[in-house]
Amino acid sequence: MINKLRAILLHPRRAVTKKMIQAFGDYETKLRANVIARPNYGFCLYNAAKLAERLGYTKISVIEFGVAGGNGLLNFEYHAEQVCKLIPIEIEIYGFDRGEGLPKPVDYRDLPYHWKEGFYKMDVEALEAKLTKAKLILGDISDTLSNFVENCNPAPIGAISFDLDFYSSTKSALAVFNTNHKYLLPRVFCYFDDTIGTDISLYNDFTGQRLAIKEFNKENENIKLGYPYHLSNSDSYWRNQIWIAHLFHHPHYNTFVSDMEQQLPLDL
């Protein structure tokens, strides 16, 4: 189905086809065709829900680290609503942000040539008035994340968007994977917004989010953030910003979730 859909979208009339899918396609088709708002959020949430269902979970959580104006958090609500129609699972949504915009960069690793203190300030009242499902958690990430589990008792986390911009903030947010396994799926679908960039931002492996990811993998023997290579043939920009957190010591990491029928008949 996916290969057939890709072939359709590569047709010279691809733009028309996409418009048709956008107008008349169901949620799954729109998501695969990349004709839906923030498909990166949908991809992570949808696949987390599928994994959770195969593992026997009835509820999961998704997190947005770095809410800014709030469009992403509202979009998570939309995707959660659609996914719950397809998969019998409850979805909790949490958004972490200072509410006051970016803090002052700590050093060169936070890319002060690209980010400035105060960027992306939130209108808290306006956003909270629009939210119907998500819970907003305000404060410095190093403080709010440390008591998140105790205060919220979240369902197992299956998908996370990391959009904190800075190396230092992302480094703090990655501590979420060091919580008790009961609060995490064995594989967590992650989107890192600031890992490709432009000819101005020039993200690299020695600053910003990429450095935070690199250091996290070096410091954690039994938890690794890895690139999902099945996405490497896609021409969608955002797919290069997806990582999967593998929790090797999770009690359900080795639980079988693949298709049961995998025998190949002998061709005579």
> What's the pTM?
0.91
Give residue limits of the domains in the chain: 1-36, 37-247
Mean pLDDT of 119-142: 97
Average pLDDT over residues 165-194: 98
Query: How much is the average pLDDT of 229-241?
Result: 88
Quote the pLDDT of residue 252. 98
The runs of H, that is alpha helices, within the chain are 2-9, 14-24, 27-33, 39-55, 71-86, 124-130, 141-144, 148-152, 167-173, 208-219
With 80 as the cut, is the pLDDT of residue 195 above it? yes
Per-residue pLDDT at 259: 86
Task: Answer whether residue 138 shows pLDDT above 60.
Answer: yes
Is 90 exceeded by the pLDDT of residue 34?
Answer: no
Please determine, looking at this structure, whether the domain spanning 37-247 carries the CATH number 3.40.50.150. yes
Compute the mean pLDDT over every residue in the chain, rounded to the nearest whole number. 92
CB 169 within 8 A of CB 141: yes
Residue 214 has pLDDT above 80, yes or no: yes
The pLDDT confidence band at residue 266, using thresholds 50, 70 and 90, is: confident
| Torsion over CA: 48, 203, 97, 174 (sign) | positive
SS3 131: coil
**pLDDT of 2 higher than 80:** no
How does pLDDT run across 247-258, given as a tens digit for each residue? 999 999 999 999
